[in-house]
A and B are shown apart, each in its own frame.
Chain A
Amino acid sequence: MKTVQTHPDQTQLALLAAMTASNRFTLVLLVYLAASIIGFYQLAAEQRFWFLIPPVLLLIINFMAALVVRRVMLNNIPLMLFHFALIMLVGLSMLGQMSYLKATLELATNEEFSGHLENVQQGIWHQYGLNNTRFTNLGFVINYHKGVKRDNTLNRIAVTGIDGAQKIMEIGDHVPLVIGHYRFYTSHNKGYAPVFEWKGNQAKQSVTGSIHLPAYPVHEYKQALEWQIPGGQQKIWTQLKIEDDVLPLDRDFQFQLPQQHRLIIRQNDQRFELLPGEELELDSGVLKYQGLSSWMGYKVDYDWTRPWLLATCLIALFNLFLHFLLKFRDS
């Protein structure tokens, strides 16, 4: 009898390949992935993502090895496509994580978006693409049901195109403004914005602008803000004192600007009260309260992978159902 000599390294390699491709290894890795999810849940958001990569990569290796070594699923196309779709989902999620953007934005009524966002979080590959985007908040309507229960937000905006033409749109809780892969949604944050005109003693022209008081009605009793006068070091504490019943608890109502209100201004130890149209002489200039407006908060997000994720999920689901339907067809 003729025996074939096998090199010890080859035997070990075959053993390693068999182990990597085994179903038992899949079970171990699924437990490892579940443990990682529970473990990384305690970590900060930016660290979580990396925690999941090792078990997911090992699962992909395990699947590929099973295809090559054990030749599983080669005659089961739906199940194979389901697994490939899952791998595709992982890949797209990683790409999305590298290039995403999340941010917020506040615009007073009739204020134009200048391309500047706040509270920006973004992936390392993100290339900011909103520098030339312009739209104006034209105001919003929010109806409340009895007991101050908010209904949908309807926000009118004017979007300025590349050619300078303006297009009027209505966006809201479920209807975003979509520019490229950037989506602007209205948020539940909105409030009052006193509009001031400031003329410094040395300035030739006055400056007009608004301050955004804390969100209303969430911070109903905190309608105050300390802010700095443009071009100076002076700080001013401003409080809105609403004298109307703009939040009736016993009936439906609409978010509105109070007809009866005044501003309380504190500077150093002095206290002033201003009605719309009234002026206040300060050491460095004259501050005129023009009137009350409102501001709307927006959530902005960017993820170019979303349509691809949707398509991949559909492929995965279709093949998963198909696999089990075919498997159990005869029974």
Chain B
Amino acid sequence: MSIEQPLLFIACFFYTFSFILNYLKQNQYTHNIIILSGTLGLLCHTVSLSIRWVRVGHGPFINLYEILSSNVWSLMLCFLLFMILSKQNKQMGRYIVPILALLMIWLLITPAKDTYLPPTYNTIWLYFHVFSGKFFLGLLLLATGMAIFELMTSKSSDSSSSIPAARFLSYQLLAFAFCFESLMLFFGAIWAQDAWGRYWSWDPLETWAFLTWLSLAFVLHLKTNSSYQNIYPVLVLGCFILAFLTFFGVPFISTAPHKGMI
């Protein structure tokens, strides 16, 4: 029996432990345990994904199970890097942990079916497309975490000093999420041209990815207008919901990410 699945379960155990610790009172000790537990989970998950990659002969981005697994991995990586690099915002973790936990549970109840890489997917541009997409979603998740952190902090009385910093960090993350989504669309267009002889065809996934791009452009434009600053965190959350549905909803109306394009 392959150790791929047991390793994934062990990874999820460490992730869960790390998630729970986010809701305890934060000090240096709990922070270090969160990082350690998350890192151990990530290591197990990396080995599990690598074994699968070698066994099936391609990266984890064909069916729902593979896409969920690789996204839990990449989002956890972004989350841990953020927790390590931005210690003053470690409270933010508790706001994005539910999203990660939701994806993790979804992954655990999804059948781990083996997949086959269609010839049209066998191109280097697919890897660029997927990796830029993962950067985009990771950055957007962190921007959303900071936006929710801002929303929650603004309701408490001892908050006023941390709000501008949280807003600015959220804006920075959102700006680079927009850059990486643009890159994702660009690489996706090259891949589509290479694979199917057209760079854009308004298939459901392309359409919703473009709508997500527009929603980010909307929020970035709104950020320059001082009249609407109060709704900024809500709109960032809206962008994330749209991106989440695009990543995990639209592709699975069919059995493949780009419906009918195998």
B4, CB-defined interface residue at 8 Å = no
Tell me how far the C-beta of B94 lies from the nearest C-beta in chain A, rounded to whole angstroms: 25
Tell me how far the C-beta of A154 lies from the nearest C-beta in chain B, rounded to whole angstroms: 10
Partner of B116, one of A26, A33, A145, A321: A145
B116 and A149 contact, CB distance less than 8 A: yes
Partner of B193, one of A41, A150, A306, A328: A306
A313, CB-defined interface residue at 8 Å = yes
B183, CB-defined interface residue at 8 Å = yes
- Distance, CA A27 to CA B220, complexed state (A): 10
- Distance, CA A17 to CA B5, complexed state (A): 63
Known A24-B225, A27-B218; contact A317-B193, beta-carbon cutoff 8 A = no
Nearest A residue to B194 via CB reads A174
B43, CB-defined interface residue at 8 Å = no
Q: Compute the total of residue contacts between A and B using a CB distance below 8 Å.
A: 79
Interface positions of B from 214 to 258, Cβ below 8 Å from A: 214-215, 217-218, 221-222, 224-225, 227
A34 and B179 contact, CB distance less than 8 A: no
Partner of B207, one of A41, A310, A317, A327: A41
- Distance, CA A33 to CA B217, complexed state (A): 12
Nearest B residue to A328 via CB reads B172
A137, CB-defined interface residue at 8 Å = no
Known A306-B193, A324-B179, A331-B172; contact A34-B202, beta-carbon cutoff 8 A = no
A26 and B221 contact, CB distance less than 8 A: yes
B24-32, B66-74, B117-125 - interface stretch:
B117-125
Tell me how far the C-beta of A96 lies from the nearest C-beta in chain B, rounded to whole angstroms: 9
Known A30-B217, A38-B211, A306-B199; contact A153-B175, beta-carbon cutoff 8 A = no
Nearest A residue to B228 via CB reads A27
A152, CB-defined interface residue at 8 Å = yes
A174: B residues at CB distance < 8 A: 120, 122-123, 194-195
Known A174-B195, A306-B199; contact A320-B217, beta-carbon cutoff 8 A = no
B168, CB-defined interface residue at 8 Å = yes
Per DSSP, are chain B's interface residues mostly helix, strand or loop, or mixed? Answer: helix
B119: A residues at CB distance < 8 A: 150-153, 173
- Distance, CA A102 to CA B218, complexed state (A): 34
A94, CB-defined interface residue at 8 Å = no
B128, CB-defined interface residue at 8 Å = no
B82, CB-defined interface residue at 8 Å = no
B190: A residues at CB distance < 8 A: 310
- Distance, CA A310 to CA B186, complexed state (A): 9
Q: Which one of A147, A174, A317 has the highest number of Cβ atoms from chain B below 10 Å of its Cβ?
A: A174
B87: A residues at CB distance < 8 A: none
Known A30-B218, A38-B211, A152-B122; contact A324-B195, beta-carbon cutoff 8 A = no
Known A37-B207, A317-B182; contact A176-B222, beta-carbon cutoff 8 A = no
A157, CB-defined interface residue at 8 Å = no
B195 and A317 contact, CB distance less than 8 A: no
Known A27-B222, A145-B116; contact A320-B182, beta-carbon cutoff 8 A = yes
A14, CB-defined interface residue at 8 Å = no
Tell me how far the C-beta of B119 lies from the nearest C-beta in chain A, rounded to whole angstroms: 5
Tell me how far the C-beta of A300 lies from the nearest C-beta in chain B, rounded to whole angstroms: 8
Q: Digit string of A287-331 for contact with B (CB within 8 Å is 1, else 0)?
A: 000000000000101000010011001001100110010011001
A23 and B221 contact, CB distance less than 8 A: yes
B198 and A41 contact, CB distance less than 8 A: no
Partner of B197, one of A149, A153, A185, A327: A185
Nearest A residue to B122 via CB reads A152
Known A30-B218, A328-B172; contact A150-B118, beta-carbon cutoff 8 A = yes
A68, CB-defined interface residue at 8 Å = no
Q: Digit string of A7-26 for contact with B (CB within 8 Å is 1, else 0)?
A: 00000000000000001101
A31, CB-defined interface residue at 8 Å = yes
B176, CB-defined interface residue at 8 Å = yes
B9, CB-defined interface residue at 8 Å = no
B211 and A328 contact, CB distance less than 8 A: no
B195: A residues at CB distance < 8 A: 173-174
Tell me how far the C-beta of B120 lies from the nearest C-beta in chain A, rounded to whole angstroms: 6
Q: Digit string of A128-170 for contact with B (CB within 8 Å is 1, else 0)?
A: 0000000000000000010101111100000000000000000
- Distance, CA A331 to CA B175, complexed state (A): 14
Nearest A residue to B224 via CB reads A23
Nearest B residue to A72 via CB reads B224
B210, CB-defined interface residue at 8 Å = yes
Nearest A residue to B207 via CB reads A41
Can you list 29 A-B contacts with CB-CB less than 8 angstroms, sorted by A residue number?
A23-B221, A26-B221, A27-B218, A30-B214, A30-B221, A33-B214, A37-B207, A37-B214, A41-B202, A41-B207, A150-B119, A151-B119, A152-B119, A173-B119, A173-B122, A173-B195, A174-B120, A174-B122, A185-B197, A299-B197, A306-B199, A313-B189, A317-B179, A317-B182, A320-B178, A320-B179, A324-B172, A327-B175, A328-B172
A-B complex: 4 closest residue pairs judged by Cβ atoms: A149-B116, A173-B119, A30-B218, A324-B175
- 8 extra interface residue pairs, beta carbon distance < 8 Å, beyond A23-B225, A37-B210, A331-B172: A26-B221, A37-B214, A147-B116, A183-B197, A301-B197, A313-B189, A317-B179, A317-B183
